[in-house]
């Protein structure tokens, strides 16, 4: 492929290190689409004869059918998907195949192919995340008024509803989708026609090829066009954030499935057993999702380090841009599918959740708030009074709502029988009617709004 420049072929080690076809064969659909758009433009501009353009297009269609049926052949001598396809095209239509590479370089070709692939990958991720959102909405609706302990520092804090807890993850996924949408918008520029780095002297129409490939516009600087991988980094950063959210949800399921918590029973389909302990139900799928987050983060870091010191324009280091993106995409897709399946099929033990919410003095804040509202007491003073009440309940081995009124009045005489109306977990969650609060009415309102958002 190097023509007359080199008298000898590459050393075997150079042949192996230089080839990217083992992984960039994944770009074959995008590569053929880009080539078809390019040759159509060349013909329209009179740069290539119409008859030659037709032969090239028909040859590309035949190659696509071959790849679809049999996969892409791996030939290290041909280095990459671009040369594998061009070589096969020459076998099919002869020297006319050489006209396809007029007014382009592998530099702008791969940048275009990779953008197309990342754009498609984002669309796949978005579809998966929508499925996860729908699963979260459905289960949140089922449990909008199911009381559970809310935690800070993994300590029982205030009662919340399970529906509210699940909707917290809906909001995380909503932000994830917005980051992927932003990444897609920035990737929606076409590098094709930037050639090696300086553009081309042929009278090409870059707007035509951009439109044919579904891009919003062509890129505006040829140097940046071939050296930019921001779109890949944007994808990896959005994927990293999404994987962190999935990992947090997976961690909750892992904790909740443990015997001390007993909040959930994970489905058999997402659990494994032990080779020697027949009683075990291990949350392996959730643990792997948790582990995948670290690998996805590593992929993001790998590409950041690759790109951090590269001068303009293209350098061979950039050949290593695709493996981390491909790996991260595959891991993220698996993680989304696994967590969606778990959310859809997990059994929530709401009786256990309620029992722990009732036993952890989780309504202490409600007592303090009542003292502020009904007694006109500054909150800091009310906080101290409530702390004494919690200590008394702990010493007596009873929840707050079972402390005798006499005991409460010994702590502070401004407390009366009305306090018992706010000390139950149901009263506590029902009172949290502020926007975004855990009250069942607020949770159901947000679910209805979210369902409209998703359509």
What residues have CB less than 8 Å from 85, skipping those under 6 apart? 28, 31, 32, 35, 60, 63
What number of other Cβ atoms are within 10 A of residue 117's Cβ? 23
**Cα gap 284→57, rounded to integer Å:** 48
Of 185, 143, 133, nearest to 164 by C-alpha is 143
pLDDT at 275: 59
What number of other Cβ atoms are within 10 A of residue 58's Cβ? 12
Element (H, E) at 82: helix 81-93
* Structural domains in the chain, sorted by start: 14-102 (1.10.275.10), 107-144+159-349 (1.20.200.10), 356-454 (1.10.40.30)
- Give how far Cα 258 sits from Cα of 290, 293, 454, Å: 16, 21, 33
HSE, CB side, 13 Å, CA atoms: give it for residue 51: 0
Write the secondary structure of 219-279 as one string of H (helix), E (strand) and C (coil).
CCCHHHHHHCCHHHHHHHHHHHHHHHHHHHHHHHHHHHHCCCCCCEECCHHHCECCCCCCC
Query: Which tens digits make up the pLDDT trace of 29-44?
Result: 999 999 999 999 999 9
What residues have CB less than 8 Å from 150, skipping those under 6 apart? 156, 157, 158, 159, 160, 165, 362, 438
Query: Which tens digits make up the pLDDT trace of 316-335?
Result: 999 999 999 999 999 999 99
pLDDT at 26: 97
Of 12, 153, 275, 435, the active-site residue reads 153
HSE, CB side, 13 Å, CA atoms: give it for residue 286: 23
HSE, CB side, 13 Å, CA atoms: give it for residue 307: 18
Confidence of residue 213 (pLDDT cuts 50, 70, 90): very high
pLDDT at 209: 98
Residue with tokens 């958002």: 453
Query: Which tens digits make up the pLDDT trace of 102-155?
Result: 999 999 999 999 999 999 999 999 999 999 999 999 999 999 999 999 999 998
Residue with tokens 């139900």: 281
The residue with greater pLDDT, 362 or 148, is 148
HSE, CB side, 13 Å, CA atoms: give it for residue 244: 11
What residues have CB less than 8 Å from 371, skipping those under 6 apart? 377, 381, 382, 385, 386, 412, 414, 415
Percentage above 90 pLDDT, the chain: 77
**Cα gap 388→84, rounded to integer Å:** 77
- Residue 400 gets which letter from DSSP? G
**Can you read off the two tokens belonging to residue 283?**
């949350």
Of 178, 258, 274, 315, the active-site residue reads 274
**Can you read off the two tokens belonging to residue 21?**
């076809």
Active site residue 243: no
Query: Which tens digits make up the pLDDT trace of 392-442?
Result: 988 998 888 888 999 989 898 888 888 888 888 998 999 999 999 999 999
**Can you read off the two tokens belonging to residue 106?**
């592998």
Of 66, 48, 46, nearest to 56 by C-alpha is 48
Confidence of residue 263 (pLDDT cuts 50, 70, 90): very high
Query: Which tens digits make up the pLDDT trace of 13-26?
Result: 888 898 999 999 99
3-state DSSP assignment of residue 429:
helix
pLDDT at 277: 63
- Residue 73 gets which letter from DSSP? -
3-state DSSP assignment of residue 308:
coil
Helices (H), 258-363: 284-307, 322-345, 350-359
Active site residue 258: no
**Cα gap 15→83, rounded to integer Å:** 14
């Amino acid at each position: 492929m190097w023509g007359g420049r080199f008298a000898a072929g590459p050393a075997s080690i150079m042949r192996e290190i230089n080839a990217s076809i083992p992984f960039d064969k994944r770009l074959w659909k995008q590569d053929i689409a880009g080539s078809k758009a390019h040759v159509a433009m060349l013909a329209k501009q009179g740069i290539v004869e119409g008859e030659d353009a037709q032969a090239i297009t028909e040859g590309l269609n035949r190659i696509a059918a071959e790849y679809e049926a049999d996969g892409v052949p791996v030939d290290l001598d041909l280095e990459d998907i671009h040369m594998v396809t061009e070589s096969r095209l020459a076998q099919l239509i002869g020297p006319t195949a050489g006209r396809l590479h007029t007014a382009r370089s592998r530099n702008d070709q791969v940048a275009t192919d990779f953008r197309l692939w990342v754009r498609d990958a984002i669309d796949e991720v978005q579809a998966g995340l929508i499925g996860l959102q729908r699963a979260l909405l459905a289960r949140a609706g089922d449990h909008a008024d199911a009381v559970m302990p809310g935690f800070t520092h993994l300590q029982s804090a205030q009662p919340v509803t399970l529906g509210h807890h699940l909707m917290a993850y809906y909001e995380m996924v909503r932000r994830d989708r917005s980051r992927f949408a932003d990444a897609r918008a920035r990737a929606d520029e076409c590098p094709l026609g930037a050639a090696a780095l300086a553009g081309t002297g042929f009278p090409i129409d870059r707007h035509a090829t951009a439109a044919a490939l579904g891009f919003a516009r062509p890129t505006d600087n040829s140097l940046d066009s071939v050296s930019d991988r921001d779109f890949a980094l944007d994808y990896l950063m959005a994927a990293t954030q999404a994987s962190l959210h999935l990992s947090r949800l997976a961690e909750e399921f892992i904790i909740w499935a443990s015997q001390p918590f007993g909040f959930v029973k994970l489905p058999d389909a997402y659990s494994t057993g032990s080779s020697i302990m027949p009683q075990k139900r291990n949350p392996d799928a959730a643990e792997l999702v948790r582990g995948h987050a670290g690998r996805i983060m590593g992929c993001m870091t790998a590409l950041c380090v690759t790109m951090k010191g590269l001068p303009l324009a293209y350098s061979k280091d950039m050949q290593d841009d695709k493996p981390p993106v491909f790996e991260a995409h595959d891991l993220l897709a698996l993680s989304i599918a696994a967590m969606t399946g778990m959310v859809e099929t997990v059994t929530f033990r709401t009786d256990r959740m309620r029992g722990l919410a009732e036993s952890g003095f989780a309504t202490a804040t409600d007592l303090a708030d009542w003292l502020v509202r009904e007694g006109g007491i500054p909150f800091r003073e009310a906080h101290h009074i409530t702390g004494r009440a919690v200590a008394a309940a702990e010493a007596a081995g009873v929840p707050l709502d079972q402390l005798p009124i006499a005991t409460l009045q010994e702590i502070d005489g401004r407390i009366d029988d009305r306090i018992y109306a706010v000390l139950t977990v149901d009263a506590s969650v029902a009172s949290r009617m502020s926007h975004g609060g855990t009250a069942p009415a607020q949770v159901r309102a947000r679910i209805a709004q979210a369902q409209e958002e998703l359509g």
